Amino acid sequence: MSAAVVFEEYGGPEVLHLSDVDPGEPGPGQVRVRVRAAGVQPADSLFRRGVMRQFLPARFPQRLGNEFAGVVDAVGPDVSAPAVGTAVIGWAAQVCYAEHVLVPATDLVSKPDSLPWTHAGVLSASGQTAVTTLELLAVTAGDTVLIHAAAGGVGSFAVQLARRSGATVVGTASPRNHEYLRGLGAIPVAYGEGLTDRVRAVVPRVDAALDGSGTLEALQSSVDLVADRSRIGTIAFSPAAAHLGVARLSTQRSAARLARLAALSAAGELTVEIQQAYPLAEAAQAHRDLDTGHVRGKLVLTTEG
Ligand SMILES: NC(=O)c1ccc[n+]([C@@H]2O[C@H](COP(=O)([O-])OP(=O)(O)OC[C@H]3O[C@@H](n4cnc5c(N)ncnc54)[C@H](OP(=O)(O)O)[C@@H]3O)[C@@H](O)[C@H]2O)c1
């Protein structure tokens, strides 16, 4: 048997607990991965609380988690690569808080040796969301980009990737995160009343805005600052977005995107603060910390090898 975090009813972090599950055998096109690290993200909390139940209902006992890194420990009958023993980074829907996952062999890339498990385990969801959204907003050299919730998981990656594209980045966060944002390459600005004026005080214009906060304030300031509405997007669930004509952007995952993120991370050109790593058995505590809404960088669950 194998351990996995499950929940049997929607609710607070306390509904999460470890359970013995069958790790399963990989079918055609699949591999089984012994997970070493699994990233934690706000979507996991929304799912746990039942907020997404209309379009993504849980099937109790339900597993959780969308990103992982680990070692392939079994391969399906027709799978030639990756081989058993390969360290990989990958994604899978609502199963990754576990010792084992079964995944398509195509939804994986090799983990560079120099990349720690914790950092590898948090690349697939937040990292790929950052890549996708900057692509959708057509961020390019010479742009000035406003990123709301810049110190969070997606924001941390988006700031650095936008900077790599040659953009100037203004990032919003509370003052305790301003030094962190400077380290990532952003000009930090505090959110809260007067946000638009504070942004205007540090940059002459804003060409695009990516929102990870979902607040009316962030969306309104984006609309006030960016002339082209098609270059404003939010990744948060926010009723105000549609009202203001702001598009909701969704992540698109691909092995090519993930391989690029892994290579940049291994080269030390992309990083994220791991606010805290927790053993799998402490998933409920990780969710208590997640639910504060003030995580810097990423939270990650780890298992013994
Ligand atoms: N659509 C998609 O495909 C997709 C994919 C991934 C994530 N998401 C969504 O995108 C959002 C962000 O995800 P994430 O993983 O980056 O979240 P996260 O890591 O939990 O974000 C935490 C950050 O939010 C900041 N924050 C809190 N209140 C804020 C405010 N009023 N204004 C600006 N920043 C604020 C915090 O900074 P301080 O501590 O300094 O306050 C903290 O650093 C979530 O709603 C998530 O569900 C969507």
CA of 272 relative to ligand 1 center, distance in Å: 14
Name the residue of 137, 156, 174 to mutate for ligand 1: max ligand atoms within 8 A of Cβ: 174
Q: So what's the pLDDT on residue 48?
A: 98
From 281, 157, 159, select the one nearest 209 (Cα to Cα).
159
Query: Is 128 a pocket residue for ligand 1 (Cβ < 6 Å)?
Result: no
Query: What are the mean pLDDT values of the chain's consecutive 10-residue runs (305 residues total)?
Result: 97 98 97 98 97 95 98 96 97 98 97 98 96 98 98 98 98 98 98 98 98 97 97 94 94 96 97 98 98 98 91
Q: Give the type of residue at 232.
A: I
CA of 158 relative to ligand 1 center, distance in Å: 12
Could you report the per-residue pLDDT of 202-237, keeping only the tens digit for each? 999 999 999 999 999 999 999 999 999 999 999 998
Residue nearest to atom 36 of ligand 1 (CA): 294
Q: So what's the pLDDT on residue 96?
A: 98
Query: Is 189 a pocket residue for ligand 1 (Cβ < 6 Å)?
Result: no
Query: What's CA 191's distance to the chain center, in Å?
Result: 21
Q: So what's the pLDDT on residue 239?
A: 87
Query: What's CA 233's distance to the chain center, in Å?
Result: 16
From 193, 153, 151, select the one nearest 170 (Cα to Cα).
151
Query: Is 212 a pocket residue for ligand 1 (Cβ < 6 Å)?
Result: yes
CA of 153 relative to ligand 1 center, distance in Å: 7
Q: So what's the pLDDT on residue 285?
A: 98
Distance CA 227, CA 148 (A): 17
Residue nearest to atom 21 of ligand 1 (CA): 152
Taking the model in full, what pTM does it have?
0.97
Q: Which atom of ligand 1 is nearest to the CA of 46?
A: 47
Q: So what's the pLDDT on residue 290?
A: 98
Name the residue of 211, 235, 254, 288 to mutate for ligand 1: max ligand atoms within 8 A of Cβ: 235
Q: So what's the pLDDT on residue 305?
A: 75
Query: Is 177 a pocket residue for ligand 1 (Cβ < 6 Å)?
Result: yes
Cα dihedral 16, 22, 27, 31 sign = positive
Could you report the per-residue pLDDT of 261-272, keeping only the tens digit for each? 999 999 999 999
CB neighbours (10 Å) of residue 139?
Answer: 23
